[in-house]
Structure 1
């Protein structure tokens, strides 16, 4: 796995059907290295601290390969990396092969896999289509959060070197599927 894009976002207020939604989901690619801190990415705005940021979801990563699928579902969008609100776009992130607790050395950092991203209203706002939230739930293309065990800079081109494997733990896909079942009940 390798970083193909580093993305940050600013606070944005969007008028969604008469309601003002404040969000940091509108990420955009940046060229300089980004600093991954204990609870978030320096320079990136987290507006909803209850559901984003924090120790167990300091950085969100999404697979570049997943974009191919979504482009077929939403062909008329102006596609750019960071569209899913991810801080790291990774060339080939496979949630079905990554386990909670798997740990990687990336750039100056050490990152631990913690949980999948669960879709919310703000994903629908970002795509200007609330159907996207249901579409996202139905796929096993969740991306994942990392905990920062060692802070530092990462940049485009940095490779993920696995330093700990936890095959005894659930994969991110399995955790996501369990959350989907809980939601349906």
Structure 2
């Protein structure tokens, strides 16, 4: 059950101009020293698009640092990869990726307890940030989507801490498998699998409803 990753940075951001009149908080900066982790996320972190981001089930975003090298090769290098949080993540960490982590897994980060609530659905903002089309398609194909946590117990953490799994959730459904089942056309979930996804009680309601609709289509 034990799985741990090393946290290189904890990052927060504020809404700022991004695409014309549109705002985004995707450009996050690393925090020095301890930071509080609340039910809504890291203290001082905000979202601009509250319709599609934020809320208890998307409180904290984790993107594996292991993916940076592959992105650098695919992009031919990119200055954004040198930023504190290239993919708008709150947790910059290495030691586990989407195939290692299950929906509903619980992790201790500092004194906070986090629970994996859903994969991250990629959107156009990544392509705009990097100035490169095709990033969303690559995520769909490679399943290197990252994931979100809900906060079960509030607490405090700092960079250099480990984030350690203390409870395994839905062990048949890794983040990678669930993401692929709903988004990768080459690995689309079967009707039975969609029903199973819809019944995962630790998966966020939005994704459970999506699976339920797909199963009855």
User: Fold-level match, TM-score > 0.5?
Assistant: yes
User: 1:54 is matched with which residue?
Assistant: 55
Q: Which runs of 5+ in 1 are unaligned?
A: none
Structure with more of its chain in helix, by fraction: 2
Matched, 1:106 2:109: yes
Q: Which runs of 5+ in 2 are unaligned?
A: 189-213
Is 1:6–1:33's contact at 8 Å kept on the other side of the alignment? Answer: no
TM-score by length of 2: 0.77
CA distance in 1: counterparts of 2:15 and 2:163, whole angstroms = 29
User: 2:14 is matched with which residue?
Assistant: 10
**Matched residues, number:** 182
- 1:143 corresponds, among 119, 128, 146, to 146
User: 2:169 is matched with which residue?
Assistant: 166
- Following superposition, the deviation at residue 167 of structure 1 comes to 4.7
Is 2:63–2:145's contact at 8 Å kept on the other side of the alignment? Answer: yes
User: 1:96 is matched with which residue?
Assistant: 99
User: 1:44 is matched with which residue?
Assistant: 45
Deviation by residue 1:39-88 (Cα, 9 ceiling, x = unmatched): 22221121112222111110000111111111111234112230101000
Deviation by residue 1:102-141 (Cα, 9 ceiling, x = unmatched): 1111101001111111111111121122322222222221
TM-score by length of 1: 0.89
* Larger-gyration structure (1/2): 2
